[in-house]
């Protein structure tokens, strides 16, 4: 009888360990599904529109703290256009896109800002820091700790990126692109937002 109790206790401990150490993808997928359900039911007062931000609409304004403790704002007028991307450290496609974002930032940092919004509600800070270090992020990594900005931007899958012009209007919403397409889109954004003297 004692061995049965031992097996049950062992199984319970093993189950708890597996759940706590399982792939973060499942945990994050459930969290994103919960957000989707919340939006579908209209249970949020974040943002005034129930419609997802899209090309031609103004980017919803927000302020978030970055990994380095500074606060960054996205609002109507900007000095430079912005590539705003939503990601998480456990996201496979985000890992594939990360080196490209670093490359684009390093190449065009004088002409475009890059902000990487981590959906921290589904991520761990230590994983965010490790990811940013691994992929040499030299641009601001913003922490959406409560998930409010992801809800405002109606982020259902990641990575999701927004190209935003100097007037705060969304030019394009992008999910994944290859390097050549990213380069073309960023160049077009820069050209379309060149200051006229």
* pLDDT for residue 123: 87
Percent of the chain with pLDDT over 90: 62
9 occurs within a structural domain: no
Residue 52 CA from chain centroid, whole number: 15
* pLDDT for residue 27: 43
Whole-structure pTM value: 0.74
59 occurs within a structural domain: yes
* pLDDT for residue 130: 97
Closest listed residue to residue 172, CA positions, set 58, 78, 52, 55? 55
Q: What is the CATH number of the domain that holds 171?
A: 3.40.30.10
pLDDT at 76 over 70: yes
What distance in Å separates the CA atoms of residue 131 and residue 153, rounded to the nearest whole number? Answer: 23
Report the 3 state secondary structure along 121-189: HHCCHHHHHHHHHHCCCCCCEEECCCCHHHHHCCCCCCCEEEEECCCCEEEEEECCCCHHHHHHHHHHH
12 occurs within a structural domain: no
197 occurs within a structural domain: no
* pLDDT for residue 169: 94
* pLDDT for residue 189: 94
* pLDDT for residue 4: 56
Query: Using an 8 Å Cβ cutoff, are 62 and 153 in contact?
Result: no
18 occurs within a structural domain: no
Residue ranges with strand state E in 6-70: 62-65
Q: Across the chain, what does the average pLDDT equal?
A: 81
Q: Long-range contacts made by residues 133-137, C-beta under 8 angstroms, separation at least 24? A: 134/98, 135/95, 135/98, 135/99, 135/101, 135/102, 136/102, 137/98, 137/101, 137/102, 137/105
Closest listed residue to residue 177, CA positions, set 159, 156, 153? 159
8 occurs within a structural domain: no
Q: Please, what sign has the CA dihedral across residues 140, 191, 194, 150?
A: negative
91 occurs within a structural domain: yes
Q: What's the pLDDT tens digit per position in 138-192?
A: 999 999 999 999 999 999 899 999 999 999 999 999 998 999 999 999 999 999 9
What distance in Å separates the CA atoms of residue 191 and residue 6, rounded to the nearest whole number? Answer: 69
13 occurs within a structural domain: no
pLDDT at 8 over 80: no
Residue 43's domain spans which residues? 23-192
* pLDDT for residue 106: 96
**Number of domains, the chain:** 1
Q: What's the pLDDT tens digit per position in 81-105?
A: 999 999 999 999 999 999 999 999 9
Q: How confident is the model at residue 23 (pLDDT cuts 50, 70, 90)?
A: very low
Mean pLDDT of 98-119: 96
Closest listed residue to residue 107, CA positions, set 84, 135, 138? 138
């Amino acid at each position: 009888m004692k061995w049965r109790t031992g097996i049950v206790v062992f199984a319970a401990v093993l189950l708890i360990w597996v759940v706590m150490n399982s792939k973060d993808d499942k945990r994050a997928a459930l969290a994103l599904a919960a957000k989707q359900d919340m939006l579908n039911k209209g249970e949020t007062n974040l943002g005034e529109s129930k419609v997802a931000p899209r090309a031609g609409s103004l980017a919803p304004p927000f302020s978030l703290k970055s990994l380095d403790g500074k606060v960054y704002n996205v609002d109507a007028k900007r000095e430079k256009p912005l590539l705003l991307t939503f990601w998480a450290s456990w996201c496979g496609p985000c890992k594939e896109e990360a080196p490209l974002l670093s490359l684009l930032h390093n190449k065009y940092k004088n002409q475009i800002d890059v902000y990487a919004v981590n959906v921290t509600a589904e991520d761990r800070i230590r994983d965010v820091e490790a990811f940013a270090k691994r992929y040499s992020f030299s641009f601001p990594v913003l922490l959406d700790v409560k998930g409010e900005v992801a809800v405002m931007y109606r982020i259902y899958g990641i990575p999701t990126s927004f190209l935003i012009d100097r007037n705060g209007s969304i030019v394009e919403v992008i999910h994944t692109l290859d390097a050549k397409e990213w380069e073309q889109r960023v160049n077009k954004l820069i050209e379309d937002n060149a200051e006229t003297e």
